[in-house]
Amino acid sequence: MAFRNVYVYYFVFNREINWGGRFVGNTDPIMEKLKASIAYDQRMWEADTKGSKAYVKALQKAGQVTQNEMEQILTGLDKVIILFTTLTQCSRLLLKECIGNPAGKFHTGRSRNYPVATDMRLWLRDAFTTLKELALQLISTMVERAAVEIEILCPGYTHMQRAQPIRWSHWILSHAASLSRDIERLEDIRKCVNVMPGAVAGNPFKIDRESLRQDLNFYRISIYSMDATGQRNFVAKFLFWGSMCLTHLSKMSCCVCVCESSTGSSLMPQKKNADSLELIRSKAGRVFGRWAGFLMTLKGLPSTYNKDLQEDKEAMLDTYDTVHAVLQVATGVISTLKVRDGSANLRWKGLATDLVYHLVRKGMPFREAHSCAGKAVYIAESKNIHLSKLTVEDLQTVSPLFDKDVSSVWDYQGCPNSVLEVQYSDPSGTVRNSVKAQIQHFRTWLQAQKQ
């Protein structure tokens, strides 16, 4: 059976659409394959059924179908959906075969373009809720790990080089911050999605669009019908959102990959490969490709609906599937990751910046202090010892401002007067009290999001 239509409700509810009776002959099989969208259209049958039921009720209010016909169509839709969800050969179980002639009134006043735009919005609106829940679960996992492991220290990196000592909790919360912005951005996009479109030239049958909007729980009605059927800004925004969200998770994955590995190599027994993290990184590229490709489709289109827009659903669904999977894998990684205290790695060069600050507090200009600290690092490297093992005499060859109080620089392991606690005490910093406040901020934010 040849399906000549793009969208689910035609696929499910009609054996064949007669395009005005003027087309004869069969479509070339290659053309059928090129234009086929059934494989991904089927996934939106729930949204289509929801939209179709609401529209039939609107037709009854407008006097285009009788009460009895409306009830037959609604009952028939329920039957078709039951069969659709339980049988594989659902394409043969169509609305007309279930209820007969009333099915012919089902499409009064709407072409396929209107339900295409409507159903995609309904589907994506529900998809947002699912993705938000998964992202919140990931952030919650990060926050609770940060709370439990607040005493663990590790090197902070810049330019992929060990820089300054930070708390592991401070690091993981930095990635939670990126994801929190993604969630807030998703809610902004929801407003763009949750707008009810209409037919290209308007509806000629006095359909009560406000009542229809309420039935489908849209925020508002689009007042520009030509724009509503052809624009896919909401899809492009979602694809961009997916690109940014996975970019943030890719960044986090890359940080962990630099520090550690997880699974075995098929060739080299000594290796542990961070497969899950590497896959997260790769999926970011996949989703970005979907966004870039879809923008190339949009940029050449005239107004209203064009067949090119058949590319919208595949890009949207693939992006959803990818982000959906990656969020769950990332949550699994974060919840099972084993973290070792990195204090031993800090003694080598990680406190060189604090040595600069020590001299600045004694009145030395910053650039001169920076040079002196660099010379101290060179001496430690020459002696093949940790920076913290340099004697006061060693340091005084660099600057006479160094004295016995330089020992305070090496005290970073958590006591109230340590460098870590005194020097970085601003609200966004890595000291214990600041990180505790950051954790509480996230807990409050999470609670607000769940409400």
Q: Which residues are catalytic, by number?
A: 159, 265
* Token pair in block for residue 438: 């950051």
The CA-based dihedral angle spanning residues 188, 193, 194, 197, taken in that order and rounded to the nearest 10 degrees: 150
Both tokens of residue 415?
């006591």
Tell me how crowded residue 82 is: count the other CB atoms within 10 A of its CB: 12
Radius of gyration over every alpha carbon of the chain, rounded to an integer in angstroms = 31
- State both tokens at 88: 């594989």
Q: Could you tell me which of 252, 244, 233, 237 has the C-alpha nearest to residue 323?
A: 244
List own/partner pairs for 419-424 with CB under 8 A and 24 or more apart: 419/351, 419/354, 420/153, 420/165, 420/167, 423/354, 423/357
Query: From CA 247, how far away is CA 253, in angstroms rounded?
Result: 10
